[in-house]
């Protein structure tokens, strides 16, 4: 039982997975893609002569909310795909690699560097798989249509990707989005689009039993939120030093450094988010980009911390309104964080929201502006 579908059925039979109709459809489609890729092996002139079909197998774009099993299916696909010319990479890390390759190509190749970069990426790769395709900045958006056209149509690379968003919502409301729209057209024309956007969030099972608010500050609290991060991202704890960071675009000319960013989970310190001059656009960008935020080092605040408290109120409003899951380490429970000062009245609402955000009902909500 080495194929993807056989492995998937075995996991259900053993009780490790629950039967899910959307996952089943995706598993069947990925199983067919495996067979196509394994059958269409590169060969000599005779092989190419008798192979009358397209050399590139049709790729796949799987989208759906948090915890729908997209990464699990991608794991099965990559692990069971029986060809050596395959690569799996997190989308953010891939785009960082692309920008670096573009800079290097410009040093030695005058003109458009995209064909050269695409050729290098495709060298020895027939199937390129991405975790969590998301586009948050104009630098990525401006090159993606040309880059992926080269990869898919010219280099004949099969693309398989997961995303939390349907193709038409990628880079929504982004700067100069008109330059990005051809990439959306490319997805629809060259990849099969499958929705795994059902109502069940299986990732909640991974954080079951974990509290979201941890006091007091210290190693024990830090260990709890670290555990939540690794459960939510499937990242190996022993490889913690290699968790990727990200530059999150805030408008046209500014970005926010995200120290740890993986699979829709971001880690920040209170000092970075609320101790520095920030406003609603920063917090809205975070709330839109991440389904889970881990915030560490929340202190007890007094009248002298009016600015920090006001920013914290704005941050929590944005996270709450977008149904973002919050894991936190703090010096006190929400009720005792800010009891006196100019923002005390506004903070009462924040306390109420922080308590609600710890409830099972809130954690079960999907990420977004709608309940």
Q: Residue 297's pLDDT is what?
A: 97
Q: Distances from the Cα of 342 to the Cαs of 264, 271, 273, in angstroms?
A: 34, 20, 20
Reading the block at residue 295, the tokens are 């915030």
Q: What are the b/e assignments for 233-265, b being 16+ CB within 10 Å?
A: bebeeeeeeebeebbbbbeeeeebebebbbbbb
Torsion angle of the four alpha carbons 93, 98, 103, 109, in this order, in degrees rounded to the nearest 10: 160
Average pLDDT of the segment spanning 340-352: 87
Q: Residue 43's pLDDT is what?
A: 52
Phi, psi values for residue 246, rounded to 5°: -155, 150
Higher pLDDT, 294 or 200: 294
Q: Give the lowest-confidence range in 45-49, 59-63, 188-192, 322-326.
A: 45-49
pLDDT above 60 (res 248): yes
What radius of gyration do the chain's Cα atoms show? 23
pLDDT above 70 (res 252): no
Q: Residue 1's pLDDT is what?
A: 44
Residues in contact with 203: Cβ distance below 8 Å, sequence separation at least 6, in sequence order: 66, 67, 232
The DSSP H or E segment spanning 146 is helix 138-149
**Which one-letter DSSP state was computed for residue 322?**
T
Reading the block at residue 98, the tokens are 């692309």
Q: Is 331 exposed, middle or buried (0-12, 13-18, 19+ CB in 10 A)?
A: middle
Distance CA 192, CA 169 (A): 16
Instruction: Indicate the average pLDDT of the chain.
Output: 88
The yes-or-no answer to whether 4-195 and 206-363 have a common fold is: yes
Pick among 3.40.50.300, 2.60.120.1060, 3.30.200.20, 3.30.470.30: CATH of 4-195: 3.40.50.300
Distance CA 189, CA 163 (A): 17
Highest mean pLDDT, choosing among 34-43, 95-104, 295-304: 295-304
Question: What residue segments make up the domains of the chain, in order of their start?
Answer: 4-195, 206-363
**Which one-letter DSSP state was computed for residue 318?**
H
| pLDDT band at residue 66 using 50, 70 and 90 as cut-offs | low
pTM above 0.85, yes or no: no
Q: Residue 199's pLDDT is what?
A: 64
Beta-carbon count within 10 A of 336 CB: 12
Reading the block at residue 62, the tokens are 């799987």
Q: Does domain 206-363 have CATH number 1.10.246?
A: no
Q: Residue 253's pLDDT is what?
A: 74
pLDDT above 90 (res 249): no
Higher pLDDT, 66 or 132: 132
pLDDT above 60 (res 46): no
β-bridge mates for residue 196, sequence order: none
| pLDDT band at residue 45 using 50, 70 and 90 as cut-offs | very low
Distance CA 135, CA 100 (A): 17
Note the pLDDT tens digit of each residue in 305-342.
999 999 999 999 999 998 999 999 999 999 999 988 88
Q: Tell me the DSSP string of 195-252.
A: E---S--GGGGTTTT--SEE-SSSHHHHHHHHHHHHHHH---GGGGGG---EEEEETT
Distance CA 95, CA 135 (A): 10
Note the pLDDT tens digit of each residue in 123-181.
999 999 998 888 878 888 999 999 999 999 999 999 999 988 899 999 887 888 999 99
Average pLDDT of the segment spanning 81-102: 90
Length of the chain in terms of residues written: 371
């Amino acid at each position: 039982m080495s194929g993807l579908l056989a492995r998937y059925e075995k996991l259900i039979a053993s009780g490790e997975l629950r039967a899910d109709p959307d996952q089943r459809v995706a598993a069947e489609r990925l199983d067919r893609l495996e067979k196509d890729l394994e059958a269409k092996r590169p060969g000599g002139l005779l092989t190419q002569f008798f192979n009358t079909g397209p050399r590139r197998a049709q790729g796949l774009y799987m989208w759906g909310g948090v915890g729908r099993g997209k990464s699990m299916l991608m794991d099965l696909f990559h692990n069971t795909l029986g060809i050596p010319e395959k690569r799996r990479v997190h989308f953010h890390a891939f785009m960082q690699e692309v920008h670096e390759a573009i800079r290097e190509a410009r040093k030695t190749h005058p003109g458009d560097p995209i064909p050269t970069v695409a050729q290098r990426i495709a060298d020895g790769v027939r199937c390129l798989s991405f975790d969590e395709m998301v586009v948050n900045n104009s630098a990525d958006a401006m090159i993606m249509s040309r880059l992926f056209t080269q990869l898919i149509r010219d280099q004949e690379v099969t693309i398989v990707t997961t995303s939390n968003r349907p193709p038409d919502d990628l880079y929504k409301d982004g700067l100069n989005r008109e330059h990005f729209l051809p990439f959306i057209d490319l997805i629809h024309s060259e990849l099969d689009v499958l929705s795994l956007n059902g109502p069940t969030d299986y990732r909640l099972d991974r954080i079951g039993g974990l509290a979201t608010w941890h006091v007091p500050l210290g190693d024990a609290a830090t260990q709890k939120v670290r555990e939540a991060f690794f459960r939510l991202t499937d990242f190996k704890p022993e490889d913690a030093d290699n968790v990727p960071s990200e530059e999150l675009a805030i408008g046209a000319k500014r970005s926010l450094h995200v120290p740890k960013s993986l699979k829709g989970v971001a880690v920040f310190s209170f000092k970075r988010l609320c101790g520095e001059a920030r406003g609603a656009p920063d917090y809205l960008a975070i709330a839109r980009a991440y389904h889970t935020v881990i915030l560490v080092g929340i202190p007890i605040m007094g009248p002298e911390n009016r600015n920090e408290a006001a920013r914290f109120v704005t941050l929590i409003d944005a996270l709450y309104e977008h149904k973002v899951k919050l894991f936190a380490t703090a010096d006190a429970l929400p009720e005792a964080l800010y009891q006196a000062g100019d923002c005390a009245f506004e903070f009462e609402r924040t306390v109420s929201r922080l308590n609600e955000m710890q409830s099972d009902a809130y954690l079960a909500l999907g990420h977004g502006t709608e309940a």
